[in-house]
Structure 1
Amino acid sequence: MAFPLPRGITPSEIAFLAEMEMVTIMPRQRLEGLELLGGPIEPIVPPRRASLPLWLALLLKRQRRANILPPSWLHPGSLELILDIEAHHNDYRHAFSPPPPLPGQPNVRELARGHEPVARPQYTPDGERYFASPPFLPQNAAESNFDPTQVPSLPFHWVEISSMLLDAASDDLTDPDQIRRLLKDIREVRMAKMRAGVDVLDAAATGGGGVALTGVGAMELGEERGFLSGAVDNLRKIGASKEQARREQMAEQRANGGYDATQDEEEDYMEF
């Protein structure tokens, strides 16, 4: 008998996908160009920065052939701003901080000024048009002109990337202990938001709308998938039992002659 796997993608599979994210390195040695499945990599010449997939950057880091430059959101100041937005901002009391903009879309400040988000397509070597999505977006590349006062955004794979960089390249980060504390606080606040929306889940289970998960990361979705799907299934069962009890009560009242509803009301109820 085969071992049953949980529904959806597993955390290890999510972490594997996150290793395709592009990060910035500062090489210590020359490296010839490589032909990878994700595309060719130009020759690396120190001290010029280069963008590599996370798995290759971690390999060079373990071999002491390069240093990994942390992305702008993985700084203590940026994480403090994100935590303040998640915990104390009125607009995000029941929502999550906005994700990074897609290529061609305006950032948070431009959206506040009324700029319309328009995605910019990319093209393959054969000329086919496509729209890139994580992990094939430069959301974790280090910025040369980093502004600590700018409102940062958490990328789609922020949990996985922060964990990998803290494990393999903590010496390249600014105050890694404080970063760990801030990441833990952010995760607790965001998980509390996901688990507190029982009323929204109730409405979604009865067909009254959906659950807004804009800004939620891949690992967060993977971890909370069982809770959310289980809660919706149980609420749907509760709603079905209540509906069945109501129909039985109406049938009993109609049989006893105590139900004086009109035909229009019965038709409206059946449509509902």
Structure 2
Amino acid sequence: MAFPQPPGLLPTEVAFLCEMEQVTIVPRQRLERLDLLGGPTRPLIPPQRTTLPLWLAVLLKRQQRANIAPPPWLATENLEIILNLETREFRDSFSPAPPPPAQAPVPTPRDFSGKPFHASAPFIPSCTVDAHPTALPYHWFEVSEMLLDAASDDVGEPDRVRQLLRDIREVRLAKMRKGVKELTGDGVGMILDGVGAMEVSESRGFITGVMDGLRKIDASREQARRDREDEERENRRYNDDDGDEDDEMT
């Protein structure tokens, strides 16, 4: 018997997908190319920078074969700018996500069916050294946690970075809770532009629970209204029947 799974991705599954994000490394040893499912990697030649999937970069870091160059949005000065955006300029929404990379006019990337293909996370360089400095990518929380865990010595001021990330996370979670309150009132709904993958995964269960509760409340109200209308209709019919009997007796 299969156990029912909640809708959407679990936080562990989101973290697993995040490991495909491309990050920049500085190799400390030469290493020939590796043939991965996503394609072959470039040969590692110190001190030339290259990009690798996060899982492989973390593995090489733990083996002391490479250092990881953190993305610019993980620097303290840029995190302070992002925190300022979240608390002052975008009080009722989330700070904008990084813009997609510019696509060359020709040739247009296409998928196996021949349709135009537009890459998204984790297949756009949102966590490399060329990433947008003041915009949080889709997997910002997971990437920052993994880098601080495996390569904190490569991150400048790691304690300050942790504090700023904690503040940003608390501010954004407060916005998620505020958005849920909008669902229970007369608001137009939640605007989730700029929300990260882990934030969606962690809030999905609570939000869907609120929505299910609202549906049940609306259904009970609708049923009560119908019962009241049926009762009033029966009362009018009963009164009409009594009136007809009185007319016949007279």
TM-score bucket (shorter structure): 0.7 to 0.9
Q: Report whether the alignment pairs 1:142 with 2:121.
A: no
Partner of 2:38: 38
| Equivalent position to 2:175, from 175, 193, 215 | 193
Any residues of structure 2 matched to 1:83-122 within 5 Å, and which? 83-89=83-89, 92-104=90-102, 121-122=108-109
Partner of 1:249: 228
- Name the stretch that deviates more: 156-165 or 3-12: 3-12
| Equivalent position to 1:163, from 141, 145, 152 | 145
1:78-124 superposed Cα distances (whole Å, 9 cap, x missing partner): 111111111122xx21211111111228xxxxxxxxxxxx9x95246
RMSD: 2.6
The one-letter amino acid paired with 1:152 is T
1:178-219 superposed Cα distances (whole Å, 9 cap, x missing partner): 111111111111111111123432369xxx855321111111
Alpha-carbon offset, residue 57 of structure 1: 0.5
- Name the stretch that deviates more: 45-54 or 248-257: 248-257
Any residues of structure 2 matched to 1:212-251 within 5 Å, and which? 212-251=191-230
Change (3 A) 1:3 1:254: closer
Bigger proportion of residues as helix: 2
Number of residue pairs matched by the alignment: 235
The one-letter amino acid paired with 1:179 is V
| Equivalent position to 2:160, from 178, 199, 204 | 178
Structure 2: unaligned runs, 5 residues or longer: 237-250
- Residues 203 and 210 in structure 1, CA contact (< 8 A), matched pair in contact too: no
Counterpart CA distance in 2 for 1:2 and 1:58 is: 34
Counterpart CA distance in 2 for 1:56 and 1:123 is: 27
TM-score by length of 1: 0.78
The one-letter amino acid paired with 1:251 is D
**Secondary structure, aligned partner of 1:197:** helix
Question: What is the identity percentage for the equivalent residue pairs of Structure 1 and Structure 2?
Answer: 57
1:46-80 superposed Cα distances (whole Å, 9 cap, x missing partner): 11110111011101100111110010110111111
